Amino acid sequence: MSGMTTYFIRRLMLVPLTFLAITFMVYSVLRVVPGGPIEQAQAAMRMAAMEEGGAGGGTITGEADLQIDEEAMDELKRYYALDRSIPVGYLQWLGLWRREMHSRVPAVPADEFREDLARLKTTREAQHEAETRLTAHLEERGLVYHKDGFFEPLEPAEMPGDLRARADLLRSRSVEPHYPLQKLLADEGMAFADGNYLRRVDAGDDEFWVEAHRLAKRLTGTRAQYDAIVEETGHDLLADGRLIQREFIPLHRLKEAQIAVSEQLQGQLAEQELIEFGGRIYQPISWEDLKGRDERLAKRAEALAEAGFARRDRLLSLLAAHDLTWQNERYYETVGADLRQSDPERYETLEALIDSHRLATTRLERIEREHGYAINDQFIVFRIKRALSGILQLDFGRSYTYGEPVLSLVASRFEVSLWFGLTGFFLTYLICIPLGIIKAIKHRTTVDTATSIAVFLGYAMPGFVVSLILLAGVAVHVEWLPLGGHKPEGIEDMGWLEAILGRARHMLIPVIGYMVAGFAAMTILMKNSLLDNLGSDYVRTAFAKGLRERRVVFVHALRNSLIPITAGLGSALALLFAGSFLIETTCNIDGMGFLGYQAIVQRDYPITLGVLVFLVLIQLFGNIISDLIWATIDPRIRFGAA
């Protein structure tokens, strides 16, 4: 293999390495620095919410905003794998380490039922109807139907004293459907439903009971029918009429149970301003009390609390070592012996609730894990998939300012940047080559000196400043030139001539800015290269042959002196994109650079990293392409040769 080929293979192999090094560096910076993405995003969102809320914004909109925030935050956390270490998180972001993906399982609205599923609905209706009729019939004698049996409501006084006390206690400590309570009552031939204690009644054989048995049988019949259909179709109906897959039913039930316990627990806790955290009960403690107890601890905790989200874990573990915790911007201490003694019953109730909450949660989690699904508080089911999903799988995440996938955003903006980049690029060559030739031919004449000043100025001033001067000095006064944007409004409806002129109008100033970047270097390069060639022997020979000067310069010398110019092709293109965001910001062009800049300002990290990935790739391949072009055009160039 020739040296050249190995050289380029080596260069290509270096591309992934470079890419990894750069992205890892930036990823680490975003993660390590205090006030990383999450916190910055939170602050930014809070600001935005405050601005929007303004005078009229009530609490409802505020809470709604917070809801969205939580969701976005969850997505952000998942995307950046903030719960994992930096290397693992980076690999997940890259797509080389499996990550947990939550994809929403769409619930089918009732009116989109498939044919065969319509039976589900009719059977459910029949079942309801049977139930209503049975209830109505039993009401005549004040009876209720519960779990395949007929019951009569029991006045509390009718119950034996100790049984009732035990039942009440169990009732307060368990949640619907009160399994321990039901078990206790069933042994006594009793039950509990809708807040009433019930006692089983013996069926008679009069007309009333015949009818009652008939209706009850019909109800069980429809139930069985319904269950059969559920079995057959694999779908079930929710109370609100939405359709759900049968395998999600346990999830639903458990979630409902968990929410019920949670609500009961929170209600009990809120009554006494207590909180539950990690299975323990805490009561609030004021900062002064905390300081009085342990001043050093209090100060350290306060410092950590102020450091924000990034130090939250450290804060909690510090406090946990002292039986304290920190929630909702307040300090809490564990409930001591005083509550246990002053109100043992309540305390035990709380503990029982906490236990059953924990039980419900673990059960739910087990089921979630087993089935590979997760359910959130709004009963939306997500499919949990552990898969590779990162930028290698083209999953760049989702921007939370635009709410669109980053990839499509970048792609749409890339087109705009391409317009300007390419135009600027070609115009640079179109102007620089003739100018360089003129300067070389008229070396050390007035023309040369005069254009040199322009070249030096172009070298000295960055492109965006030149655009800015033109905007401030010309565009402000000339109505014909727009102050920003990349195309006229309603360009789709214009004739082709008008459209081209409109685009040209919008592109004039930015493109001049783009051109400044390469203008000076390119012109000087062209001039020097031509001068070099004009002094060489083969030109001397051509002159000696008696060729005309025009032919010598334009045919003989120029061809060779164009070689160095083409060498910069790839890297010039890369430079145009990399440096363009200054011009795009100045001229309000919705290009990729502007997208990246705004993303940084708005702390939209998915876009920031996405744009970075693109910039790095363009730069890397641009460099290689320019070397390749150079080597192809000029056979004297030998890369990789010792």
The DSSP bridge pattern shows strands 330-334 and 280-285 to be antiparallel
Residue 309 pairs with which residues in a beta bridge? none
Q: Determine if residue 105 is left, alpha or beta; phi over 0 gives left, psi from -120 to 50 gives alpha, anything else beta.
A: beta
Write out the two tokens for 333. Answer: 């201490």
For residue 19, the minimal CB distance to another protein (Å) is: 8
- Residues contacting residue 307 through CB under 8 Å, at least 6 positions apart: 34
For residue 7, give the amino acid letter. Y
CA 280 to chain CA centroid, Å, is 33
Does 461 participate in binding another protein (rule CB under 8 A)? yes
Does 372 participate in binding another protein (rule CB under 8 A)? no
Does 430 participate in binding another protein (rule CB under 8 A)? no
Q: Residues 160, 177, 403, 535: which binds another protein (CB under 8 A)?
A: 535
Does 186 participate in binding another protein (rule CB under 8 A)? no
Packing angle of the helix pair 344-371, 249-271 (nearest 10 deg): 150
Does 626 participate in binding another protein (rule CB under 8 A)? no
Q: Where are the alpha helices (DSSP H) in 234-343?
A: 249-271, 287-293, 295-307, 312-320, 337-342
Q: Residues 303, 430, 476, 555: which binds another protein (CB under 8 A)?
A: 476
The strands making up 196-200's β-sheet, listed across from edge to edge, are: 144-146, 149-154, 196-200, 190-193
Residue 435 pairs with which residues in a beta bridge? none
For residue 313, the minimal CB distance to another protein (Å) is: 20
Does 483 participate in binding another protein (rule CB under 8 A)? yes
By CB under 8 A, what part of segment 515-534 binds another protein?
528, 531-532, 534
By CB under 8 A, what part of segment 22-41 binds another protein?
22, 25-26, 29-30, 33, 35-36, 40
Q: Residues 126, 418, 494, 578: which binds another protein (CB under 8 A)?
A: 578
Write out the two tokens for 413. Answer: 């903006």
In degrees and rounded to multiples of 5, residue 321 shows phi and psi of -65, -20
Q: Interacting stretch for another protein, rule CB under 8 A, among 57-65, 205-213, 412-420, 457-465? A: 457-465
Q: Which one, 16 or 372, has the nearer CB to another protein?
A: 16
Q: Interacting stretch for another protein, rule CB under 8 A, among 103-111, 171-179, 208-216, 594-602? A: 594-602
Q: Interacting stretch for another protein, rule CB under 8 A, among 123-131, 320-328, 578-586, 625-633? A: 578-586
Burial (CB < 10 A; 0-12, 13-18, 19+), residue 510, is buried
Q: Interacting stretch for another protein, rule CB under 8 A, among 17-25, 155-163, 216-224, 371-379? A: 17-25
Does 47 participate in binding another protein (rule CB under 8 A)? no
For residue 301, the minimal CB distance to another protein (Å) is: 25
Does 623 participate in binding another protein (rule CB under 8 A)? yes
| HEC string for 552-613 | HHHHHHHHHHCHHHHHCHHHHHHHHHHCHHHHHHHHCCCCHHHHHHHHHHCCCHHHHHHHHH
Q: Interacting stretch for another protein, rule CB under 8 A, among 59-67, 99-107, 239-247, 582-590? A: 582-590
Q: Are 522 and 429 in contact (CB under 8 A)?
A: yes
Binding interface with another protein (CB under 8 A): 14, 17-18, 21-22, 25-26, 29-30, 33, 35-36, 40, 443, 456-457, 459-462, 464-465, 468-469, 471-473, 476, 483, 528, 531-532, 534-535, 539-540, 543, 549, 578-579, 581-582, 585-586, 596-597, 600-601, 603, 608, 611-612, 615-616, 619-620, 623
